[in-house]
Structure 1
């Protein structure tokens, strides 16, 4: 039985343990991150950059009050992240949170206001909020205009610090002069590369050597023939330990006839000497993008979405840091890649199709009305991107090739389009891996990744998974309720079998009735007996009192 003394002893012990644990964790901070990609733990590159700081970094977070619930969660995450930075960097990291109020000072610092639609009392009104940060390092200053929920806040913050703290950026050369898109046509790619690197145009018509400061050459979708002397310069660049990332179109589509045509620039022959052979074919995959086509029926035009396997979504990537965290890269009519052994390079498949894919050999025509069947997807894991690393005697040269040159091209003017984030990240991470290798490539992809259903599952399997997720929790809750009800009923039945009368049991055993003065619990029969005894004593006292009065 739990006495008063025992109760207060337990409560005192619990309070003491909690106080001691708080004191202990004040000096020794411990966190447990159970997310698959450690989304809430500072990465090694961030810690290394913070440890190399020579002077303090100051971060001022301008965050409005009365944020909507989703932004409130982001605010908590951002403030926790700042606390982690402070813990890792010590005196070299200082942060504070400011309320922008009317926003005048925040906008002066470069923080952009956000207009949100807020629903209150069945009415929708617009609310202007501020949610950004200013990072200062010495006399330099960088701004995060808006902290976007769902993005890698750590990458944004760490790259701002690295950009200011780095004495010199690494240089990347962007090849021009052979029909490649201009740097403005790949604006989204250039913007991401410029965060940690300096990108300069390289025109081999104007030089006898590639500049020494250039560590990586980026080649995107050349259309014209590349002269032999230019290929020789690229070969010399590789022999000196240079790195090349090439996004190459091996086929082109005639937009009038929809016929697929082979593309020859000379670069394919150059890559073949390095053991990389891009085949002039078209890869298709069950995991593919949906496009919208116009269809005319009865004099009316309809926008119809259709799945086009010739535009695969690649979700199978090599297990290397630059590609960790990528969800899916969408390619436009890619080709398959073979590798040739004995060329002095070792090969790694960077990206491949799913287990349900196939090849279309030239001549081939794009048919949007084609009815695809299971027989069209007999091949698994066709390589569409390959990494070639030279042996030690070649000074560490590296070549990464992907068989689509248009998947990172925005275009310009009215034809400009936004490229999905993972397409850009694929190239930027590999270039960063070649050029800087500070680990920011993996940090860029750090996020709570989505877990979509496997696209190769059939409709029946998807149907079962869908309704299993819906009904399973309900069924489990009902079963648990029945179990509790059955258990409680059994306990009551057992209690009803007990003899609470205090009479002897078979075998001569007597159940003693607890004393009314004891501290133990008593059954209802005992309480009734005690009450009867008390009534008898009371009656006796009343009679004796009455007799005494009569005698008087």
Structure 2
């Protein structure tokens, strides 16, 4: 065999080997500054342990406006990446055109957008959703993050940042096996289930849920405490009746034994229904007999109402059109809108949280770590009770100089080695008393309405949705993060801290300079080819 033939054979064999290696080996380098095309450790861990087939169907495709085309492409990039890491995940993009009615029946409500491109305004209907399924389980992924954003670019950027969490959370929902148990406490006038239906239903997708009443503690306290300690977390939503010493002692020992808890408390009674009917209502202190209990764990809820200039709106009847009552929206400083403070993963990278008639929290006890999760704006003042809350105050011009009390803590995370509130006191009943527990967590929020979903035609709406203006707030996202963190299921919510920076286009400038850049993109490549051709012709002419 000649040397030339050996050389050709070597090249053929080399190309054959390279082709085999390239076919069976997949590796990509992410050279972006924000590592937007790399998946995080919690997602990698989830994919490594995934043995079931997961099918993902994305409906954000077809003839899309520019910004949503970008979101669709980023979705495709992410799905390609997780498919590379685990071939059990398969995905496809389906054009929703012609399937609108079927999708709406599945709960996929279309978004109607007013799109301005090339100086023209048009309406576009899109379905920014994906369905993740495994076996008989399905989970809906909303690709367009719903909350208040300054502009569409901000909404798209936040939606892209949320992609990894949204899909990882959905994959976990359809493949995970429930383990931990949550008790929804009853017996002290807590919220009825219909008013927190959406939040509890969502929690039930990942955890075992059960109502638990403390009423039986009066007759059989030891048995009640033993049953309570079988749960991992207790949720106490807006109680209206005072806790007895036996009930507090049971909650104390539940906490000392490692039980987590979320307290959603209103220490001021402000009857909203009476306010809307009469236009004026007396707000007064509510005694839940929890002051000493909470004080032991490092917090004190102040019995006043927060008034914040950064607030949500309230609908008020302003007249009639025919037989229909006309409503208008007015900013109501008793409804604080809480922006994410990014101090903790629970509240990081989420939209505004809407509160109603909230109180503030003082933090005590330096031995317990306290992390503020919800804080009012700096333009805040407080209303001491008892006092009247009057809707007529909406018509008054707010004097910004009076809102000078600064930011107030409304929600706080407590972490540490908790000591019993009854360690130096007479015990309400006999049990295997524990004086001090190990490392534990608790969340206290001085607003009982944070978990309340609105009702429309007798049916509960999604938590965070305001039926009057279709505005969507991040109450459920915040509460879900809180539960996940307390139950040590914080791997996925770490994904919220992932920051993706999207370089946006100055649309007005792009439209004005459209022709210039079209000419540049057309002429420069042709000119380069012409120059290259000329020099090539000149060199060949000189050589030959």
Q: TM-score if structure 2 supplies the norm length?
A: 0.66
> Helix, strand or coil: the match of 1:222?
coil
Once the two structures are superposed, residues 120-152 of structure 1 have per-residue CA deviations (whole angstroms, 9 ceiling, x without a partner) of xx999998x877555454x44425387547543
The structure-2 alpha-carbon separation of the partners of 1:113 and 1:43, relative to structure 1 and needing over 3 Å to count, comes to same
The structure-2 alpha-carbon separation of the partners of 1:373 and 1:68, relative to structure 1 and needing over 3 Å to count, comes to closer
Larger C-alpha radius of gyration, 1 or 2?
Answer: 1
The equivalent residue for 1:484 is none
Q: 2:224 aligns with which of 195, 199, 208?
A: 208
> Helix, strand or coil: the match of 1:291?
strand
Higher RCO, 1 or 2 (CA under 8 Å, sep at least 6)?
2
Correspondence 1:81-480 to 2 at 5 A: 81-87=78-84, 89-97=85-93, 133-137=130-134, 139-144=135-140, 147-148=143-144, 151=159, 152-206=162-216, 208-209=224-225, 210-254=227-271, 255=275, 256=278, 257-295=280-318, 303-315=327-339, 317=341, 319-341=343-365, 344-367=367-390, 368=393, 369-391=395-417, 394-412=437-455, 414=457, 419=464, 420-443=472-495
> CA–CA distance in 2 between the matches of 1:217 and 1:81?
36
Contact 1:62 1:99 in 2 (8 A): yes
Contact 1:171 1:435 in 2 (8 A): no
The structure-2 alpha-carbon separation of the partners of 1:295 and 1:39, relative to structure 1 and needing over 3 Å to count, comes to farther
The structure-2 alpha-carbon separation of the partners of 1:356 and 1:124, relative to structure 1 and needing over 3 Å to count, comes to closer
- Give the Å deviation of 1:390: 2.6
> CA–CA distance in 1 between the matches of 2:382 and 2:112?
48
- Give the Å deviation of 1:227: 2.2
The equivalent residue for 2:12 is none
Consecutive unaligned residues of structure 1, counting only runs of 5 or more, are 1-22, 451-468, 478-518, 521-552
Contact 1:112 1:145 in 2 (8 A): no
> CA–CA distance in 2 between the matches of 1:134 and 1:307?
37
The structure-2 alpha-carbon separation of the partners of 1:160 and 1:279, relative to structure 1 and needing over 3 Å to count, comes to same
> CA–CA distance in 1 between the matches of 2:400 and 2:113?
46
Contact 2:47 2:86 in 1 (8 A): no
Contact 2:281 2:389 in 1 (8 A): yes
> CA–CA distance in 2 between the matches of 1:223 and 1:159?
34
The equivalent residue for 1:50 is 47
Deviates more, 1:232-241 or 1:408-417: 408-417
- Give the Å deviation of 1:116: 6.6
Contact 1:33 1:41 in 2 (8 A): no
Contact 1:172 1:214 in 2 (8 A): yes
State the Cα RMSD in Å. 4.3
Contact 2:264 2:446 in 1 (8 A): yes
- Give the Å deviation of 1:113: 8.6
The equivalent residue for 1:30 is 29
Q: TM-score if structure 1 supplies the norm length?
A: 0.65
> Helix, strand or coil: the match of 2:474?
helix
Consecutive unaligned residues of structure 2, counting only runs of 5 or more, are 1-21, 146-155, 217-222, 419-435, 465-471, 514-537, 540-544
> Helix, strand or coil: the match of 2:181?
strand
- Give the Å deviation of 1:251: 0.6
> CA–CA distance in 2 between the matches of 1:100 and 1:301?
37
> CA–CA distance in 2 between the matches of 1:108 and 1:390?
47
Aligned residues: 426
